[in-house]
Amino acid sequence: MNHPFTDQSDVPLSRYGWTPTLDHLFTDHRAAGLVPARIVRVHRGSCDVITGHGPVRATVPAPRHADPEAAPCTGDWAALRLGQTPEVAALLPRSTAIVRSTASRTSHGQVLAANVDTVVIAVSLSVPLNAARLERFLALAWGSGTRPLIVLTKGDLAADADAVQAEITTLAPGVDILVTSAATGDNVDILTALLGGGTTVLLGPSGTGKSTLANALLGEDALAIGDVRAQDGKGRHTTVRRELLPLPGGGVLIDTPGLRGISLHDAADGLEQVFAEIEELARDCRFDDCGHDGEPGCAVRAAIEAGEVAERRLAGYRKLQREAAFEASRTDARLRDERVNRQKSISSHLRATYKFRDRQR
């Protein structure tokens, strides 16, 4: 029997997530002489892929669509035309796509990773929970068609991991929550089991412990090992980072700079990017807290009057500003409630302890 999936040449590719279902989808491509490959990293006009016979640098033909979402990205399955210059001939349909959301409605999203099964949302137990931010990450995971999994990191530093876990349970019903510690190795094996053979990405704010967790999952200092020294065209050495790494127990981990940089709660940052020209002008207003509403010496108004900036740009800017302020106040209120609740539970715990001691006397 020689089923293509059991063919020896395809065995390494199964380590990168190739399944019988994908193999079935590939039937026509195979008949056309193309070979399957998974995209490990994207460059301008080319990409690094892994095939059943090892890594290949392949060219990517100029896009037929203006839509950047149609461009290949890390995690995509490609149909490769081998030869003198290997070429990505087609992409298989994506099962999921993590798209960077843009505040501007007209611009297309940018796909950061494709065919991801599980989004691990890393939440540090060493700092107060930011519920609004967690909600944004959850929305991103669900919206991408992936399964979110909340991993509470730095369990060894937690004041009260159970309380945080309880709060998150009410926030994210039905989502698995796992308390881990890379320092003690707690629950890393369970996380490995939960991820199974699928494709995983780690999301979360900087300093949450994503790299540390990735290394624990990879079983060695593999993120560092994943950096390969390579020579570029001019003979210079550069560090090439693999952005898709096989996990020892099966499945793969995707780690791209785009995913690392994703920060959804920073609405203010987004504002500055989307309305850069208004932020720029506002710096020249006479008053620091200028509302651009008829104040003397307002540079934004002056620009509108001069026809340099459209009135509706200011209106859009104001709308987003209100949304950002609302978001921030919601977070602040949550944090306040949380502190109060934590204090309450600490006091009631202390009361119970004292009562118990009194009875012992």
Ligand X SMILES: Nc1nc2c(ncn2[C@@H]2O[C@H](COP(=O)(O)OP(=O)(O)OP(=O)(O)O)[C@@H](O)[C@H]2O)c(=O)[nH]1
For ligand X, the binding residue among 51, 118, 130, 153 (CB under 6 A) is: 153
Q: Is position 206 annotated in a ligand binding site? A: yes
Q: Is 23 helix (H, G, I), strand (E, B) or coil?
A: helix
- Cα separation, 298 vs 291, in Å, equals 9
Number of residues counted as binding ligand X (CB under 6 A): 16
CB of 328 to Zn ion, least distance (A): 21
Q: Are 192 and 247 in contact (CB under 8 A)?
A: yes
Query: CA gyration radius for the chain?
Result: 25
- Residue 74 CA to residue 243 CA, distance in Å, equals 7
Q: Is 210 annotated in some ligand binding site?
A: yes
Beta carbon nearer to ligand X, 34 or 182: 182
Tokens standing for residue 218: 């990879």
The item of Zn ion, ligand X, none sharing an interface with residue 170, based on CB under 5 to 8 Å by kind, is none
Question: Contacts with ligand X in 162-201 (CB under 6 A)?
Answer: 181-183
SS (H, E, C) 79-138: EEECCCCCEEEEECCCCCEEEECCCCCCCCCEEEEECCCEEEEEEECCCCCCHHHHHHHH
Establish whether 226 is an annotated binding residue: no
Q: What is the spatial distance between Cα 329 and Cα 323, in angstroms, rounded to a whole number?
A: 10
SS3 319: helix
**Using CB under 5 A, which of the segments 14-22, 135-143, 250-258, 279-287 binds Zn ion?**
279-287
Restricting to residues 283-302, which ones interact with Zn ion according to CB under 5 A? 285, 290, 292, 298, 300
Q: Is 153 annotated as a binding residue?
A: yes
| Nearest residue (beta carbon) to ligand X | 209
Out of Zn ion, ligand X, none, what residue 331 binds, judged by CB under 5 to 8 A for its kind, is none
Enumerate residues 197-236 that contact ligand X by CB under 6 A. Answer: 204, 206-212
260 near ligand X, rule: CB under 6 A: yes
Return the one option of ligand X, Zn ion, none that residue 208 interacts with (CB less than 5 to 8 A, by type). Answer: ligand X
**Cβ at position 125, least distance to ligand X in Å:** 9
E-only strand ranges, the chain: 35-42, 46-51, 54-59, 77-81, 87-91, 97-100, 110-114, 118-124, 147-153, 177-179, 199-203, 227-231, 237-241, 244-246, 252-254
> Which spans of this chain sit near ligand X (rule: CB under 6 A)?
153-154, 156-157, 181-183, 204, 206-212, 260
**Binding site listing for Zn(2+):** 285, 290, 292, 298
> Which spans of this chain sit near Zn ion (rule: CB under 5 A)?
285, 290, 292, 298, 300
